[in-house]
Structure 1
Amino acid sequence: MKQRGRWAAHPETLTQHSTHQVIRAMTLESLDMSSRVIYRRCLPGGPWRRLLPGVILLHNNDPTPDQLVHAALLYAGESAIVTGEEACLRYGLRLPDAEGPRHIHLLVPHRQKLNSSEFVTIERTRHLPAPWLRAGVPLAPLVRATTDVVRRTRDSETVSRILIEAIQRGRCSPQALAEELDRGTKRGTAIPRRLLAEWSDIRSVAEAEAQKLAKSLPNPPTHQNAALYDRSGHYAGRPDFWWDDVGLAWEIDSMEFHFRSNDYARTLHRNTRYAALGIAVVQTLPSRLRTEPNAVLNELGDAYRAAEVRPRPPVSLRPAG
């Protein structure tokens, strides 16, 4: 039987006209393939798969994340932008429950009439941001992508973890996230608004995680952000967490948060003051609060027991009168 169409005479043409082996059905038809042939090749047991209305995968294996994303973009058109969880993952964030089935959230211009389908959620917006292009994929800015995730999340603990990841790893400020929430719909924003209102700056985000972790200790810190003074009434420091009974400080202000050299210099001066006064200090990377919580708890427990058997440093919570 004589094969018909350019695609049959030159099979490589299909690859040339596809993206990651994903192609529009109308593109296949432009290569002289009939809709009947396309349909037949996508039937169970056939060589291809239909991913979305009018979008074909040129093999019948499970699609990769890249193939799902490009299928979604082909379905939604040239103006579409990837946002939400998929965009956050492509920016390098580590999201809770990100190992499940891939779901693609797209932003499209409000004037575009298009329905969600299969694994694709279509959101029409009057505030379509300028995309950031990564590996050929147009992404919403990270601040927008993060808020698009949290306003669809109902669990406050999960919302907290997502916001903390965006702030710590993505370098989004709490203020920028709050402003982005103000620009969009108010639906689903109560939880992230409350959390962001509690986090006035980037340090307080890590402290919120540390405070939650410290509750697991047999001897939790006695004070948080309390000013310390030496015997002469001179300011000694303001540790993030303080055990006044044994004179132990815990600081969560590592190089992860030092954007300027003078921040780092202040930390060095503070640690020198602590050392001169005999204050034991435990320093913890903010990321370890999530990745190694048990190790952090063990370090704090060891430091507390060591502080118990040495003389308490000559500092107080009030300056000498």
Structure 2
Amino acid sequence: MRSGEWARDHEALYKLSRDGVITVARLVEFGVPKSTCFRRCRPGRPWQRLLPGVLLLGSGRPTRRQLVDAALLYGGPGAIVTGLEACRRQGLKGPRLASDGVRLLVPASCKVSSVGYVTVERTTRMPRPVVVNGVAMAPLVRAALDECRRFTVYEPVRALLTEAVQRGGLGPEALIRELEAGSDRGSALPREVLSDVLGGARSVAEIDAMAVWRRTGLPEPQWNHELRDAGGRYIGTPDGYFRKVRLAWEIDSYDFHFARTRYAGTLERNSRYTAEGILVLQTLPSRLRSEPGKVAAELVAAYDAAGSRQSSSFFPD
């Protein structure tokens, strides 16, 4: 294109970009002088600089997708998105964080560095990317653990990994394999969480339940064990089941059990337990952390009551 023609063909200029996001190098190839690129990004002018060498052909607030595209252009041809951004784009909600940046994986030979809202991590273990809606990113198992390695507190690691198992469909063993394949840096907290997940927990609340159970001195229950009656009909899958005394422990949260569409199902489940002579202890997940001692005492009391029922022979095992 001859000098100056780009100014009269804004549509062609925009088509070169990713929804308005474009590198200065690409604009120069199209005939826009580098000095003009920078001049048009000054305050009050029509473009804006998002990252070094990456511009937005507009002056409005960039969308999340535009910020992600800018990060990928900044990272170069081999860059892929990882961490929480990749987890969310693959179906997870993830913990709420004060920082809303974008994490990139780039080959070890890449020279770009972290800047602005972009955190760059060089690696010799570049995974095969998955592409969701045009965004190249790390597979969920890698993205989740990349995010977890940066945390120094237990809670967000636990929240993200249990959601990855429960909502994302990842097997705990796959997370362990990915953890073993990487460096030991930042792996202590994910390993601690996964030791509970591998013990049978499928949610954050169930991990808290395991911690409360360890206070009690009671035999370990069967975690998430499916129960059926003598005729093979489904009874329920309690979070914890003490088979010897026929006690079901349910961690009943509003999100997973008492949503309007599931309330009736919860009542029916409890009726099935009662019909089979199974005692039920229901615990709110918030109490597992706010009142662990009281919940542990309630669990012991329920276990003793269930045992007394057993010994009375009204409810044989």
Verify same fold: TM over 0.5.
yes
CA deviation map 1:125-149 (0-9, x unaligned): 1111101100000110100000000
For residues 103-122 of structure 1, the aligned pairs below 5 Å read 103-122=101-120
User: What's the secondary structure of 1:315's corresponding residue?
Assistant: helix
Structure 1 gap ranges (5+):
228-235, 258-269, 294-299
User: What's the secondary structure of 2:120's corresponding residue?
Assistant: strand
- The one-letter code sitting in structure 2 at the alignment partner of 1:95 is G
Residues 224 and 240, structure 1, Cα contact 8 Å, conserved in 2: no
Answering whether residue 177 of structure 2 is matched by residue 179 of structure 1, we say yes
CA distance in 1, matches of 2:163, 2:236: 28
Task: State the percentage of identical aligned residues.
Answer: 43
Q: Please report how far the alpha carbon of residue 50 of structure 1 lies from its aligned counterpart in structure 2 after TM superposition.
A: 0.3
Measured on the aligned residues, the alpha-carbon RMSD in Å equals 4.3
Query: Which has the bigger relative contact order, CA under 8 A and spacing at least 6?
Result: 1
Residues 93 and 169, structure 1, Cα contact 8 Å, conserved in 2: yes
CA distance in 2, matches of 1:61, 1:221: 61
Aligned to 1:196: 194
CA distance in 2, matches of 1:57, 1:238: 52
- The one-letter code sitting in structure 1 at the alignment partner of 2:114 is S
CA distance in 1, matches of 2:271, 2:310: 15
Answering whether residue 148 of structure 2 is matched by residue 159 of structure 1, we say no
Structure 2 gap ranges (5+):
224-234, 257-268, 289-294
Match of 1:315 among 304, 310, 316: 310
CA deviation map 1:253-295 (0-9, x unaligned): 9xxx9xxxxxxxxxxxx989844433254789xxx958x99xx
User: What's the secondary structure of 2:22's corresponding residue?
Assistant: strand
Residues 162 and 197, structure 2, Cα contact 8 Å, conserved in 1: no
User: What's the secondary structure of 2:55's corresponding residue?
Assistant: strand
Q: Please report how far the alpha carbon of residue 222 of structure 1 lies from its aligned counterpart in structure 2 after TM superposition.
A: 7.2
Note closer, same or farther for the CA distance 1:87–1:205 as it changes in structure 2 (3 Å cut).
Answer: same
Residues 221 and 242, structure 1, Cα contact 8 Å, conserved in 2: no
Q: Please report how far the alpha carbon of residue 243 of structure 1 lies from its aligned counterpart in structure 2 after TM superposition.
A: 9.3
CA distance in 1, matches of 2:57, 2:282: 53
Q: Please report how far the alpha carbon of residue 247 of structure 1 lies from its aligned counterpart in structure 2 after TM superposition.
A: 7.4
Answering whether residue 61 of structure 2 is matched by residue 82 of structure 1, we say no
User: What's the secondary structure of 2:12's corresponding residue?
Assistant: helix
User: What's the secondary structure of 2:159's corresponding residue?
Assistant: helix
Query: How many residues are matched?
Result: 276
For residues 40-119 of structure 1, the aligned pairs below 5 Å read 40-98=39-97, 100-119=98-117
Aligned to 2:132: 134
Residues 278 and 313, structure 1, Cα contact 8 Å, conserved in 2: no
CA distance in 1, matches of 2:237, 2:62: 53
Note closer, same or farther for the CA distance 1:153–1:313 as it changes in structure 2 (3 Å cut).
Answer: same
For residues 222-261 of structure 1, the aligned pairs below 5 Å read 225=221, 240-241=239-240, 249-251=248-250
- The one-letter code sitting in structure 2 at the alignment partner of 1:315 is Q
For residues 221-300 of structure 1, the aligned pairs below 5 Å read 225=221, 240-241=239-240, 249-251=248-250, 274-281=273-280
- The one-letter code sitting in structure 2 at the alignment partner of 1:145 is A
Residues 279 and 306, structure 2, Cα contact 8 Å, conserved in 1: no
CA distance in 1, matches of 2:199, 2:171: 7
Aligned to 2:167: 169
Residues 251 and 285, structure 2, Cα contact 8 Å, conserved in 1: no
CA deviation map 1:175-205 (0-9, x unaligned): 2112111111211111111221232255465
Residues 173 and 201, structure 1, Cα contact 8 Å, conserved in 2: no
Note closer, same or farther for the CA distance 1:201–1:21 as it changes in structure 2 (3 Å cut).
Answer: farther
Bigger CA drift: 113-122 or 146-155? 113-122
Aligned to 2:10: 11
Aligned to 2:36: 37
- The one-letter code sitting in structure 2 at the alignment partner of 1:72 is A
Q: Please report how far the alpha carbon of residue 209 of structure 1 lies from its aligned counterpart in structure 2 after TM superposition.
A: 3.7
Q: Please report how far the alpha carbon of residue 38 of structure 1 lies from its aligned counterpart in structure 2 after TM superposition.
A: 0.9
TM-score (norm. length: structure 1): 0.71
Residues 79 and 108, structure 1, Cα contact 8 Å, conserved in 2: yes
Aligned to 1:123: 121
CA deviation map 1:114-166 (0-9, x unaligned): 21221111111111110110000011010000000010011111211111111
CA deviation map 1:186-229 (0-9, x unaligned): 111111112212322554655214456999xxxx99775169xx
- The one-letter code sitting in structure 1 at the alignment partner of 2:221 is N
Aligned to 1:232: none
CA distance in 2, matches of 1:105, 1:210: 33
CA distance in 2, matches of 1:97, 1:172: 21
- The one-letter code sitting in structure 2 at the alignment partner of 1:225 is P
Residues 196 and 207, structure 2, Cα contact 8 Å, conserved in 1: no
Residues 5 and 32, structure 1, Cα contact 8 Å, conserved in 2: yes
CA distance in 1, matches of 2:9, 2:83: 39
